[in-house]
Structure 1
């Protein structure tokens, strides 16, 4: 009762001023609560983004490490295959050379005539064969020397090691 009497005793503009102050205080309180809620939301988003960024960076470092390991393994396969192919090709050439030496140092044929033994066959013709194809040049030109059988054996060996290299490279799982 006293409050109602007191309120009626005040001029109208004071009532409106008090009501406006009450509304302003309420709005200010809501605004500050909204600001703190927005700030909390912004802080949450920033922290989630920082965690995401760290996670992506860690995954990137792991992917780089895996890629480096894969590259190292593939390079090792390349070196091993290159070395093994070179050794196999050298052995094949040594066998061909030994075979040529064996043929040229073969025993003389015995016969009724006093003719000397046959001369060893020439290693190759002076001129290239008509169907030899274009000159490969470079190191391949050195590998094309020899008989057709020797060249086929060298090409087969090369294909076998190429297949081995392909199988080894395919076995490296990214």
Structure 2
């Protein structure tokens, strides 16, 4: 372990010892559940431990809350994706319903694609969603976004690549 890794590890230990119970309580109030809040508190500290570096912390609670808010947003987004997927499955005839393993794999892929799209620039993400969910043509998307049709094509290539690689990594 290098000296910078050891320093980061000590800093994370100190943060954990001094602020874990505060963070777990903070998350519990926002989530209304002990178990999920404890999981997200742990995930917050795992993020710190796996970071390459941690900035000098003048406000450690604000730092932890920022990381936890991001994880909380991801948690709620995953729940929304899962709910939408399960609602869709509920409308299928039982004979077409996927196995639990297939459901898990599809849900993981959907979440990976959601993360990939979220990492795209806003206009690229919007162009992709307008084309895929609204069925809009490139020309109409270009007018709506105030860009050229060629730019919409470039956005679509980026988005499709992001989805492809997200799916590859989730498989």
**Alignment TM-score > 0.5, same fold:** no
> Which of the pair has the greater relative contact order for Cα pairs under 8 Å at 6+ separation?
1
Structure whose residues are more often helix by fraction: 2
| TM-score of the superposed pair, with normalisation by structure 1 | 0.28
| TM-score of the superposed pair, with normalisation by structure 2 | 0.29
